[in-house]
Chain A
Amino acid sequence: MTTRYSRHELFLGSEAQAEINKASVIIIGAGALGSASSEMLARAGIGRVTIVDRDYVELSNLQRQQLYTEEDARNQMPKAIAAKTRLRQINSDIIINSFIEDVNGQNVEELIKNHSVIVDATDNFETSLVVNDAAVKHGIPYLFGACVGSYGLTYPIIPTDTPCLNCLLDHLPMDGMTCDRVGVISPIVQIIAAQQVTHVLKILSGKKLSPMLQSMDIWENEKAEINVTQLRKQNCPTCGEQPTYPFLLIENQLKTDVLCGRDAVQLRPGLRSDTFSLPRLLKRVENYVTNPVLNRYLLSCNIDDYRIVFFNDGRAIIHGTNEAKKAREIYNRLIQFY
């Protein structure tokens, strides 16, 4: 056989390959994981591949983000555009759509609809929870994946079948550990993306996936897997009996405003905080902060080189940075204890 997909047809069967050619897969994020999975999916012949990313290519991406070139970095090309250009060179038989957008509760449903599978390649947990809500609401399988350092994990969310991502968590989302702080090596990216793509191929071949949370540390050569069936929550706000899809609601999203010229960022949490108590917060974070000051209006304290001021309504101002991402990280490091 000399056809383009002959090796696939030999392994998966030509019926499965026909399903793959008919399928449409959306990849949320075109960083390291998204580069790796979208290339595999395009080569596999997924009929329509959609890429969404809010970022542009930088030199420090090239160590692991396989779709991009030095020229893309020099031109600061949006990743969504650079990815589309490269994927087209790889497979001109398929449709490739790309969007330069920040995925959030307002646009996620429009983005994912009319797709057969969603692949997670976001760089933060909060967005994964937004996508989880939309995936469950629209009944589309969602393949969670994340990695940092030499460690990564995957989990397939099959609506009505497996517990959702929200069932697995009983914390606020936190993004304290990101690539910027601890780095990442490309082999773990490849492994996690490979696992996600394997899940895509299995779904499209009609195989049933079990609710298996899997992790791997390629440096330590360590693996773990846990069947999480028992973590399904009847009252889960995403996949339970009376879903509210909390991460799709605008008021539930943490908003950041960089305060110009003040080296400070304001954060407004979305969750209603009628019961937010500053004394309680102080008690919980006491051991992690220095110079705490509490009055009836605010709690102010230091952590590392930053000063963070919490207000009664749950709002906070972080001094010592003008980066929203950094501010979020500091905020989450403390608020997780509340």
Chain B
Amino acid sequence: MSITLNGKDVSLQSGVDTVDKLLSHYQLENRIVIIEVNKVIILKENYKTTSLSHGDVVEIIHFVGGG
């Protein structure tokens, strides 16, 4: 399936079908992130149960500490 991630079309390999798996896929599982799926922010406790569908519009912003 493909989704729009931070404004770009990306196709996800099969198995990457939840928010939780998407974050692991991008190695962001241990980071402070804010993630939005179709304009709704997903709370951390719902990462595992929020599934992704073809055409979803996803924004991910992770925090860093440099400056």
- Whether B12 sits at the interface, judged by CB under 8 Å, is no
Contact A147 B66 (CB under 8 A): yes
CB distance from A159 to the nearest CB of B (A): 20
CB distance from B62 to the nearest CB of A (A): 8
Partner of A147, one of B7, B34, B61, B67: B67
In the bound complex, residues from chain A placing their C-beta under 8 Å from that of B14 are none
Contact A177 B59 (CB under 8 A): no
CA distance A32 to B32 in the complex (A): 23
User: CB-CB contacts of B9-45 with A at 8 A, as 1s and 0s?
Assistant: 0000000000000000000001010101000010010
Query: Which among B36, B59, B67 has the highest number of chain A CB atoms within 10 Å?
Result: B67
Q: Please judge, given known A-B contacts A222-B6, A223-B7, A230-B41, whether A177 and B67 are in contact too, CB under 8 Å.
A: no
Spot the interface stretch: A13-21, A116-124, A308-316: A116-124
Spot the interface stretch: A104-112, A164-172, A202-210, A254-262: A164-172
Query: Which among B44, B60, B66 has the highest number of chain A CB atoms within 10 Å?
Result: B66
Contact B64 A226 (CB under 8 A): no
CA distance A134 to B55 in the complex (A): 42
CA distance A173 to B31 in the complex (A): 10
In the bound complex, residues from chain B placing their C-beta under 8 Å from that of A224 are 6-7, 59-61
Contact B6 A168 (CB under 8 A): no
Contact B32 A174 (CB under 8 A): yes
Residue on A with the closest CB to B66? A148
CA distance A126 to B32 in the complex (A): 13
Number of interface residues of B (CB under 8 A): 18
CA distance A175 to B36 in the complex (A): 24
Contact B60 A178 (CB under 8 A): no
In the bound complex, residues from chain B placing their C-beta under 8 Å from that of A337 are 30
Total A-B residue pairs with C-beta atoms closer than 8 Å?
84
In the bound complex, residues from chain A placing their C-beta under 8 Å from that of B7 are 222-224
Q: Please judge, given known A-B contacts A224-B6, A231-B34, whether A146 and B64 are in contact too, CB under 8 Å.
A: yes
Number of interface residues of A (CB under 8 A): 46
Contact A178 B32 (CB under 8 A): no
In the bound complex, residues from chain B placing their C-beta under 8 Å from that of A171 are 32
Partner of B34, one of A120, A121, A168: A168
Query: Which among A34, A122, A171, A184 has the highest number of chain B CB atoms within 10 Å?
Result: A171
Contact B64 A148 (CB under 8 A): yes
In the bound complex, residues from chain A placing their C-beta under 8 Å from that of B59 are 224-226
Contact B67 A153 (CB under 8 A): no
- Whether A151 sits at the interface, judged by CB under 8 Å, is yes
- Whether A156 sits at the interface, judged by CB under 8 Å, is no
Contact B60 A177 (CB under 8 A): no
CB distance from B20 to the nearest CB of A (A): 16
Q: Please judge, given known A-B contacts A174-B32, A215-B61, whether A179 and B6 are in contact too, CB under 8 Å.
A: no
Q: Please judge, given known A-B contacts A170-B44, A226-B41, whether A151 and B64 are in contact too, CB under 8 Å.
A: yes
Show the binding face of A for B, using Cβ within 8 Å: 29, 31-34, 120-126, 128, 145-149, 151-153, 168-171, 173-175, 177-179, 184, 192, 213-215, 222-226, 228, 230-231, 336-337
